[in-house]
Amino acid sequence: MDSTACNPTPPRATHASVRPVPTSRGHECRRRLVPLALAALTLLAGGCGKSPEAERAAAVAAQAQATGRLLVQSNRPDASVEATHLTATGDAATAGISGPVNRELTGLPPGHYAVVVRSEGWPQLAGAVDVVAGRTTEVVMNFKSGALHLESEPSGATVKLGPAVLGQTPLLLLELPVGESKLTLEYPAWPTLIFPITITENVEATATARLPHGKLIIETIPAGAAVQLDGKAIGQTPLTLAEVPVGPKKIRLSAPNFPTLVAAVTVEDRGEAKINLALASGLPLLDPAALLRAVWVPDNPGRLTSSFDATGRYAPKNGVVKNLNRQKLHDNWLDQRYRYTGTVKSYDAKTAEIEFTDDKGELSRYRVVAQLTPGARADKTSNAVPAKGATVTVYGQLQRVEEPRWPLRVITLELTLAEILPVAAP
C-alpha cells in the first residue's frame, strides 16, 4: 500500500495580499468624489441627448431664476425708463439699463436700483426699487399734469412742446406738465412765437396766444394790379389783409402796360399800414427838351437831302421835315408810354384834349397836348376836369412829334390814350 494515500501531504499555506485599513480622511474624500462622478456622468449622458434649442431654453430658465425683472408703468406712453444698479454706498455698480415704460427690463442682477423716467418736455421722475431674483418688481411712476384750452390770433397755429407736435389752435391739451413750460406756436410764413404757460395739477387753464400782427391795405391807380407779398401771390388790388405778421414787407405790383412796381412797408402790431400807388409812377418822365436834343439835326444851309429816311412809316403826318431825325424819333421815342406834368393852357371838353402851356428848350419851343381816353372823358370828378392854370400830371402813349409849318416855330408832342393822375397819387 502506498504510504502517501494514508498520509496525505498537507497543503501549502497561501499568502494573500493585505490591504491597509483606510484612514477616516481618505474615506471621506472617496465618499464625496463618488456622487460628483456619478452626477458628471449623468449630466454627460443627458447632455448628449439635448438639442441646441433645449440647451438655450435651459440657460434662459437658469438666467431667469438668477436675475430679476423690473416693470415701470407710467401715464406717458412715450416715456423711457433707466434703471441703475447701486452699490451699498449708493454708487452705480454698472451702467444703467434703459427701455420704454410699460415694458419689462429683464436680466437685472438682484439688488437696489435707482430709477429715472423721462419724457420730452416734461420734468423727469426719480425713484428707487429693490429687484429680487426670479421675480418681477412692478412700480408706477406717473407724471403730474393739468389741462389747457389754448386759442390763438390768428387761429390755426401749430403748437409744439419741445419737438412734439400737439396740434393746431384752437386746441384742448389734456395732459401738460405741472409748473412753468414754454409752448412753441408756428404759423406759415410767420415768425415763431414762444408762449410761456403755468399749469396746475388737475386744473384746466385757458389762454390766448397772440401772434403779433397788423392790418395791411394795398390800393393802386388804376385798380386790378397783381400783388405779391414777400414773393407770394396774394390777389389783386384793392386788397385788405387783416392779419399780417409784423415787420418790414416787400410788395410787388404788376399790371399790363405798366412797369412793375416794388414798394416797402412796415407792419406794426395792432397797427394799420396802407399804400396807394399810381402804376403810372413807374413810367418814364417825358422830357421834351431832352427828346429834341437826342433827335435834332442842325439846319442845312444848302437844303441837301437828309441822310435819314423821312418817308413811309417815318414820315410826319403834316409832311414837314426840318430838324428832326424821323427815323431815330420813330425807333426810340414814338409809341412809348410816358408821364408828363405841366400847366394847363386849355381844356376842350368836347374833344377831351388838354393843351399845356408852351415851353422853350435849347433848340426850339415846344408844347404838349394830351388826348384823354373815353373813360377819363366821362369822369366828372374834380381830378378829371383840369382847370386852366392848374398843374396836372397825365400819362399816355407818345403818338406823334410834329414840326411846325412856317411861320409857326413850336414843335408839338401829342400823348394819346391819356389818363389823369389824381392829385394824391405820387
Please state, in angstroms and rounded to a whole number, the distance separating the CA atoms of residues 287 and 79: 76
Chosen domain end from 266, 281, 296 = 281
pLDDT classification of 14: cutoffs 50, 70, 90: very low
Residues 395 and 314 placed together within one structural domain of the fold: yes
- CATH number of the domain that residue 261 is part of: 2.60.40.10
CB 147, CB 173: distance < 8 Å:
yes
Question: Are 386 and 345 within one domain?
Answer: yes
Question: How is residue 112 written as a grid cell?
Answer: 437696489
User: Per-residue pLDDT tens for 198-240?
Assistant: 999 999 999 999 999 999 999 999 999 999 999 999 999 999 9
153: enclosing H helix or E strand: strand 145-153
131 and 92 inside one domain: yes
Three-state SS for 334? coil
Does the bond joining 154 to the residue before it have cis omega, within 30 degrees of 0? yes
Choosing from 92, 110, 140, the residue where a domain stops is: 140
Residue 114 placed within a domain: yes
Q: What is the pLDDT of residues 375-386, one digit of tens each?
A: 777 665 545 678
Q: What is the structure's pLDDT at 49?
A: 56
| Single pTM value for the model | 0.61
Residues 185 and 264 in one domain: no
Rounded to an integer, the average pLDDT of 337-344 is 95
Please indicate, yes or no, if residue 363 is contained in any of the structural domains: yes
Domain assignment present for residue 194? The answer is yes
Query: What domain range includes position 159?
Result: 145-210
pLDDT of res. 301? 57
Asked whether residue 397 falls in the same domain as residue 302, the answer is: yes
Q: Please, which residues have CB within 8 angstroms of residue 205's CB and are 6 or more apart in sequence?
A: 146, 147, 148, 149, 197, 198, 199
The share of the chain scoring above pLDDT 90, in percent, equals: 59
Average pLDDT over residues 390-395: 93
Same domain, 128 and 152: no
Tell me the three cell numbers of residue 57: 431654453
Q: Domain end: 210, 242, 261, which one?
A: 210
- On whether both 330 and 413 belong to a single domain, the answer is yes
Tell me whether residue 9 is in a domain.
Answer: no
Residue 159 lies in a domain: yes
Residue at 12 is within a domain: no
pLDDT of the residue at 311: 77
Q: Is residue 355 located within the same domain as residue 368?
A: yes
Rounded CA gap, 322 and 310, in Å? 10
The count of structural domains within the chain is 4
Strand 171-177, strand 164-168: pairing = unpaired
